[in-house]
């Protein structure tokens, strides 16, 4: 595959139409049965293949990957550099290109710049970091001239985070996940309309899972057929970790949105609708209630289900 100078990638958010926690494994991870649905709230990730300006081999090793985060929902907890999951994904693509022999003629003459334009709030249960990582990985592979990823390369990327596999490998934008969420059954695309609200607080994922209090290796619940949509075993522990969420749950009740549910480990709530007008009406009612209660959402809107990550040459 011929390298491309720059690519632009739309990195969608996700919701979880259902989420069951079946138990905690001996490796410390939680065994899940959950749904994934991509929605039309997208970060924009641009990956550039750049001349390397480093003056030494050591500098080239540390500076060949750079990230720059901006946008209306960029926040202080999204760090540039190795602490950013998108940085690690781009670095993985670089290493995969090196193992394929594609960098032999150019290194250290090139580097990667990953620009993240944030429209997905962080610590919100919407998978923004994992989606950005998938966009950075696929975009970096494109500019480095790598072809379709092998099974081993996909597995290496999925190991970066539980939601990463969904964003990188489900073109329909809808899937049934098991294990850590990385064992995926691709499902046909859905045409749901999705009401979304993200409170003014975040939910640290590790703390929410810890609040479940599950013992590693204890007997697990059996997974059934996909449960009804709107079920999330993490809502109760999220409310314990972040008590302020109870104000938002009360606002949803007042707006007649009792069937909305937490997505992921929070803090976002969402509702699924077959009809666009019903979704828009629910969001309008919620906006009125939030204004009266002086609650300021980071995000509130009616969105739609959509396909997965898409890479476009610039």
DSSP per-residue codes, 13-41? EEE-SEEEEEEE-TTSPEEEEEEEEEEEE
Q: CATH class for domain 193-302?
A: alpha beta
pTM exceeding 0.85: yes
Give CA–CA dist 272/194, Å, rounded.
5
Nearest partner of 159 among 217, 85, 101, judged by Cα? 85
- Which segments of the chain belong to CATH 3.30.230.10? 6-189+305-313
Residue 106 has what pLDDT? 54
Q: What is the mean pLDDT of each run of 10 residues along the chain (314 residues)?
A: 82 96 91 96 95 49 83 93 96 93 65 96 97 97 92 95 94 94 94 97 95 87 69 96 97 98 97 97 98 98 92 80
End-to-end CA distance of the chain: 16
CATH 1.20.1250.20 fits 6-189+305-313, yes or no: no
Residue 55 has what pLDDT? 37
- Which segments of the chain belong to CATH 3.30.70.890? 193-302
Catalytic residues: 14, 163
């Amino acid at each position: 595959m011929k390298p491309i100078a720059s690519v632009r990638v739309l990195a969608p958010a996700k919701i979880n139409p259902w989420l069951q926690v079946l138990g905690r494994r001996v490796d410390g991870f939680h065994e899940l049965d959950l749904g994934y649905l991509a929605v039309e709230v997208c970060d924009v990730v641009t990956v550039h293949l750049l001349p390397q300006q480093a003056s030494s081999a050591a500098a080239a090793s540390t500076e060949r990957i750079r990230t720059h985060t901006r946008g209306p929902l960029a926040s202080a907890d999204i760090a540039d550099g190795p602490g950013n999951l998108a940085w690690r994904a781009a670095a993985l693509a670089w290493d995969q290109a090196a193992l394929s022999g594609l960098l032999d003629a150019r290194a250290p003459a090139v580097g990667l710049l990953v620009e993240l334009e944030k429209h997905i709030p962080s610590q919100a249960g919407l998978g923004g970091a994992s989606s950005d990582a998938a966009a950075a990985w696929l975009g970096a592979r494109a500019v480095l001239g790598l072809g379709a990823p092998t099974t081993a390369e996909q597995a290496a990327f999925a190991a970066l985070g539980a939601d990463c596999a969904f964003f990188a490998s489900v073109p329909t934008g809808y899937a049934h996940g098991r294990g850590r969420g990385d064992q995926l059954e691709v499902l046909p695309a859905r045409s749901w309309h999705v009401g979304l609200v993200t409170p003014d607080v975040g939910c640290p994922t590790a703390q929410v899972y810890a609040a479940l209090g599950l013992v590693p290796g204890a007997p697990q619940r059996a997974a059934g057929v996909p449960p009804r949509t709107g079920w999330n075993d993490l809502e109760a522990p999220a409310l314990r970790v972040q008590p302020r969420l109870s104000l938002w749950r009360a606002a949803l009740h007042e707006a007649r949105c009792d069937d909305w549910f937490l997505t992921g480990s929070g803090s976002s709530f969402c509702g699924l609708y077959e009809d666009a007008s019903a979704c828009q009406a629910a969001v309008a009612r919620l906006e009125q209630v939030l204004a009266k209660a002086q609650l300021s959402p980071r995000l509130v809107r009616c969105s739609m289900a959509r396909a997965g990550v898409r890479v476009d040459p610039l």
